[in-house]
Amino acid sequence: MSDTEEVSKAIQEVARLGDKGLDTAQKAGSFFAKVFKSPIEELSNIIHDKLRFVRWKRLVEMSDEVNVILDSRGVTETRALPPKLAIPLLEDGSLEDDDELKSLWSKLLANALDPNFTDDIRYGFIEMLKNVTGKEVLLLKKLYESLIAQDFLNDISQLSTRHFDKKQITKILQITPEQYLVSAHNLMRLQLIAPAVISGGVSIGSNPLSSYKGTDVVYLTALGVKFIEACIK
């Protein structure tokens, strides 16, 4: 049997066993470690191999998704990626188990390979994608779609004037204020959204008073727009 056939057979076996097989192997490892009071090297290697093939299975799925995206665009010649970008894209993408986020890794890789995609694919986008949840991705998409609908993306230097308040967002996403607060802080940490600063009211000298809104009123940053267009749009 060739190496290719062996890998194919292993991938099929992992797909058949799925998470249940991994759970069984992990429980067995824990049990034998308890019985013998020491790690079982052979069993550890089994678990390691299983995890390795799970990642390989995900890479195969990712390649299929990327090819579908590129084919739909009519892309026949792709551009080469620098190892600094290609390696973490493949490594981290193969670790993702959330279905919603899996598609984003594929879209990011497809855009990186597409010579017609003219925006920068930043290394930082990989770290951002590793640090967002499915709900946070949905939040970003809703903000972006709203800006598109109102034709507010012609001049991204004006994004700080396009505000979204907490009540709107929690209602649209059907999340609690507490869930929103945690997500907003995370997205602010990644600089994908930012707190609004609203000016107005009585002036002191020539400077109008301003109000810092924190998480109550936010806007999508220019970096947030480019992140969405690279791996969500």
How far is residue 23's CA from residue 224's CA, in Å, rounded to a whole number? 37
Question: What percent of the chain is modeled with pLDDT above 90?
Answer: 50
pLDDT tens track for 130-143: 999 999 999 999 99
How far is residue 226's CA from residue 121's CA, in Å, rounded to a whole number? 9
Quote the mean pLDDT of the chain: 80
How far is residue 68's CA from residue 19's CA, in Å, rounded to a whole number? 26
pLDDT tens track for 50-96: 667 777 888 888 889 999 999 999 999 999 888 889 989 988 998 88
Burial of 203 (0-12, 13-18, 19+ CB in 10 A): exposed
Name the CATH topology of 134-201+208-231.
Answer: Arc Repressor Mutant, subunit A (1.10.10)
Q: Which of 121, 103, 104 is nearest to 112 (CA)?
A: 121
What the block records as the tokens of 105 is: 């890794």
Which residues have a Cβ under 8 Å from the Cβ of 144 and sit 6 or more positions away? 220, 224, 225, 228, 232, 233
Q: In which band, very low, low, confident or very high, does the pLDDT at 213 lie, cut at 50, 70 and 90?
A: confident
Taking a C-beta distance cutoff of 8 angstroms, is the pair 78, 113 a contact?
yes
Of residues 24 and 66, more confidently modeled:
66
pLDDT tens track for 153-179: 888 888 999 999 999 999 999 999 999
Which residues have a Cβ under 8 Å from the Cβ of 215 and sit 6 or more positions away? 166, 180, 181, 184, 185, 188, 195
For the chain, the domains span 3-130, 134-201+208-231
How far is residue 75's CA from residue 92's CA, in Å, rounded to a whole number? 24
How far is residue 136's CA from residue 187's CA, in Å, rounded to a whole number? 8
Q: Which of 134, 120, 144 is nearest to 192 (CA)?
A: 144
- In sequence order, what are the beta bridge partners of 195? 218
Q: Which of 103, 34, 93, 99 is nearest to 58 (CA)?
A: 93
Question: What percent of the chain is modeled with pLDDT above 70?
Answer: 72
End-to-end Cα, the chain, rounded Å: 43
pLDDT at residue 193, as a whole number: 97
How far is residue 75's CA from residue 113's CA, in Å, rounded to a whole number? 9
